Amino acid sequence: MPLGPNNGQSVDSVVLLFLFLLFVFFSPFTFWWASVAGIWYLPYLFWLGAIALIAWVVYRRRHDV
């Protein structure tokens, strides 16, 4: 089956999203946002944002085909 004309763009967005999430959750930056005192729900907000970004990318990929 031939690939769509925008398949390269979709792969690029998935790779960029993966690298961004890798930076947010597995870098020294994690210690900074995890140590913010008083905001116990901040890690949950980051995970919610990650899930929302993934859902948006999947939604956009399905409608681009």
Instruction: Give the pLDDT score at 4.
Output: 53
Listed residue (50, 6, 44, 1) closest to 24, CA to CA? 50
Report if pTM > 0.85. Answer: no
**All structural domains of the chain with their residue ranges:** 7-64
Q: 34 pLDDT band (50/70/90 cuts)?
A: confident
Instruction: Give the pLDDT score at 1.
Output: 40
**In the block, which residue shows the tokens 């020294």?**
28
